[in-house]
């Protein structure tokens, strides 16, 4: 899972990025384009279930799932035409699985705003319009190529042309493709996403960066109230956090963080919030494998069958798949041991078409 952190300059992207990866990797300063080359950080996905299985099964090592965060240079009006770091910025977004749009909802005289004053809805629309315009450019180039192909490959090119025109019509109404996915079938979505790398088809979340005085959820901040209403209408999840506090949190010893969060009435960290939302918008789940050597978490798409899940671990497992021994975490934790679960007949033998569930602990039988 790769999440690109985007937004206008000076909205707190790099501060939040540093907090998420728990390091001072990205430069933070009061001027546009402080971040030029994207900063990349990989963090472990916190999952208490994994460590409980590891503890109970007494494996030698534990390997969590990971998430990659990419802090991308600030976007400005005209980015789709090359303004600021335009084309460079947009090329980096094409690589990510989902977009986390950081929106400034705090006042600070010491930190200038590229548009002059705070207005979260305007800022959201600036970024969205630039992504739409960039997608239109991509589609127009592909349309020219496809129209030429119709002469030699009529059937395939004609179907592609219909998809391109449908997408172009949506974008010309200044609507992102993610809001209109029901108009496309799975093959069309795959084409627009995996072959054309369109930006507005990617899942998105909003991260509202608030001030300390507005903690924990910015209920009394008019900007947050408006942004929540806007996000609800767009069906985009919104995360409320204070980048400055998140940064302070990671600078504390681990044993002091819980007390610090409780004092601020914070139930979970920004990292926890973003990972939960990231899994949801990307339709991901976690399954586990465990043996004396290693207990490990694996991330897959919801609906993945056992055969493909085996291939996630190793191609040989998929090629020589025989069966999957499965118990869900909720059932496992009541027993506290795979050995006992087997004795009690609680481990089910499933075939290649079994749909892996979130929290499944799986042992794949295979032979090659």
320 labelled ligand-binding = no
How large is the average pLDDT for residues 304-323? 97
- DSSP H or E run through 56: helix 48-57
303-366: CATH number: 3.10.20.30
Q: Which two tokens stand for residue 334?
A: 């009541």
Q: Are 15 and 49 in contact (CB under 8 A)?
A: no
Higher pLDDT among residues 103 and 110, named by residue: 103
Q: Are 146 and 253 in contact (CB under 8 A)?
A: no
Please give the CATH topology (third level) of the domain spanning 2-281.
Rossmann fold (3.40.50)
Q: In the structure, what pLDDT confidence band is assigned to residue 278 with cuts at 50, 70 and 90?
A: very high
Q: Are 107 and 120 in contact (CB under 8 A)?
A: no
24 labelled ligand-binding = no
Q: At what angle do helices 243-251 and 13-21 cross, to 10 degrees?
A: 30
Q: In the structure, what pLDDT confidence band is assigned to residue 94 with cuts at 50, 70 and 90?
A: confident
- Strand pairing class (284-290; 204-209): unpaired
Which sign, positive or negative, has the C-alpha torsion 164, 168, 170, 176?
A: positive
How large is the average pLDDT for residues 272-288? 95
User: What single-letter DSSP state applies at residue 195?
Assistant: I
Tell me: the pLDDT tens digits for 66-79? 998 988 866 656 54
Tell me: the pLDDT tens digits for 148-175? 888 776 778 888 999 999 999 999 999 9
Q: Which two tokens stand for residue 183?
A: 């108009």
Residue of 187, 360, 276 whose CA lies nearest to 3: 276
SS3 198: coil
336 labelled ligand-binding = no
* Predicted local confidence at residue 100, as pLDDT: 94
How large is the average pLDDT for residues 123-132? 91
Residue 32 makes CB contacts below 8 A (sequence gap 6+) with 9, 10, 74, 76, 84, 114
Q: In the structure, what pLDDT confidence band is assigned to residue 130 with cuts at 50, 70 and 90?
A: confident
Instruction: State which of 4-13, 118-127, 216-225 shows the largest mean pLDDT.
Output: 118-127
CB atoms within 10 A of CB 194: 10
Tell me: the pLDDT tens digits for 196-245? 999 999 999 999 999 888 887 878 888 899 999 999 999 999 999 999 99
* Predicted local confidence at residue 153, as pLDDT: 67
CA distance linking residue 18 with residue 276, whole number of Å: 19
Average pLDDT across the chain, whole number: 88
Q: In the structure, what pLDDT confidence band is assigned to residue 22 with cuts at 50, 70 and 90?
A: confident
* Predicted local confidence at residue 147, as pLDDT: 87
Q: At what angle do helices 243-251 and 270-281 cross, to 10 degrees?
A: 120
Higher pLDDT among residues 31 and 320, named by residue: 320
By CB neighbour count within 10 A (0-12 exposed, 13-18 middle, 19+ buried), where does 6 fall? buried
* Predicted local confidence at residue 298, as pLDDT: 97
The percent helix, strand, coil of the chain (3-state, each to 5) is 45, 20, 35
Q: In the structure, what pLDDT confidence band is assigned to residue 85 with cuts at 50, 70 and 90?
A: very low
* Predicted local confidence at residue 88, as pLDDT: 59
User: Which range has the worst mean pLDDT, 111-115, 260-264, 267-271?
Assistant: 111-115
* Predicted local confidence at residue 87, as pLDDT: 52
Residues of the chain with CATH 3.10.20.30: 303-366
Higher pLDDT among residues 265 and 151, named by residue: 265
10 labelled ligand-binding = yes
* Predicted local confidence at residue 81, as pLDDT: 58
- DSSP H or E run through 273: helix 270-281
Calculate the alpha carbon distances from 253 to 22, 81, 243, 279 in Å.
Answer: 12, 46, 18, 28
Q: At what angle do helices 120-149 and 154-172 cross, to 10 degrees?
A: 160
Higher pLDDT among residues 280 and 92, named by residue: 280
E-strand spans in 147-278? 204-209, 238-241
Q: In the structure, what pLDDT confidence band is assigned to residue 33 with cuts at 50, 70 and 90?
A: very low
Residues of the chain with CATH 3.40.50.300: 2-281
Work out the angle at residue 176's Cα, subtended by the Cα atoms of residues 174 and 177, and round it to the nearest 5 degrees: 130
């Amino acid at each position: 899972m790769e999440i690109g952190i985007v937004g206008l300059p000076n909205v707190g992207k790099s501060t939040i990025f540093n907090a998420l990866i728990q390091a001072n990797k990205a430069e933070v300063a009061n001027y546009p384009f402080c971040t030029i080359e994207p900063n990349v950080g990989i963090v472990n996905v916190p999952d208490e279930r994994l460590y409980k299985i590891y503890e109970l099964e007494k494996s030698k090592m534990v390997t969590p799932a990971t998430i990659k965060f990419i802090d991308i240079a600030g976007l400005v009006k005209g980015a789709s035409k090359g303004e600021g770091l335009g084309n460079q910025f947009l090329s980096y977004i094409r690589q990510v699985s989902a977009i986390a749009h950081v929106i400034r909802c705090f006042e600070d005289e010491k930190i200038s705003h590229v548009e002059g004053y705070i207005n979260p809805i305007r800022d959201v629309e600036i970024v969205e319009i630039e992504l739409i315009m960039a997608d239109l450019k991509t589609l127009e180039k592909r349309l020219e190529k496809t129209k030429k192909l119709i002469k030699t490959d009529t059937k395939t090119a004609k179907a592609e042309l219909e998809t391109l025109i449908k997408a172009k019509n949506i974008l010309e109404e200044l609507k992102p493709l993610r809001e209109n996915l029901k108009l496309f079938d799975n093959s069309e979505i795959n084409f627009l996403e995996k072959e054309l790398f369109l930006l507005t088809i990617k899942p998105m979340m909003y991260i509202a960066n608030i001030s300390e005085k507005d903690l924990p959820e910015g209920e009394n901040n008019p900007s947050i109230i408006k942004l929540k209403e806007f996000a609800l209408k767009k069906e985009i999840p919104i995360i409320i956090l204070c980048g400055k506090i998140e940064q302070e949190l990671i600078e504390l010893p681990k044993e002091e963080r819980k007390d610090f969060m409780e004092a601020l009435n914070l139930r979970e960290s920004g990292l926890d919030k973003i990972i939960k939302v990231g899994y949801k918008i990307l339709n991901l789940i976690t399954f586990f494998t465990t043996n004396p050597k290693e207990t490990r978490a694996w991330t897959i798409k919801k609906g993945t069958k056992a055969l493909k899940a085996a291939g996630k671990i190793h191609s040989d497992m998929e090629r020589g798949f025989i069966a999957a021994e499965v118990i869900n975490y909720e059932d496992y934790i009541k027993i506290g041991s795979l050995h006992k679960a087997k004795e009690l007949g609680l481990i089910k033998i499933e075939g290649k078409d079994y749909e892996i569930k979130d929290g499944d602990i799986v042992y794949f039988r295979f032979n090659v």
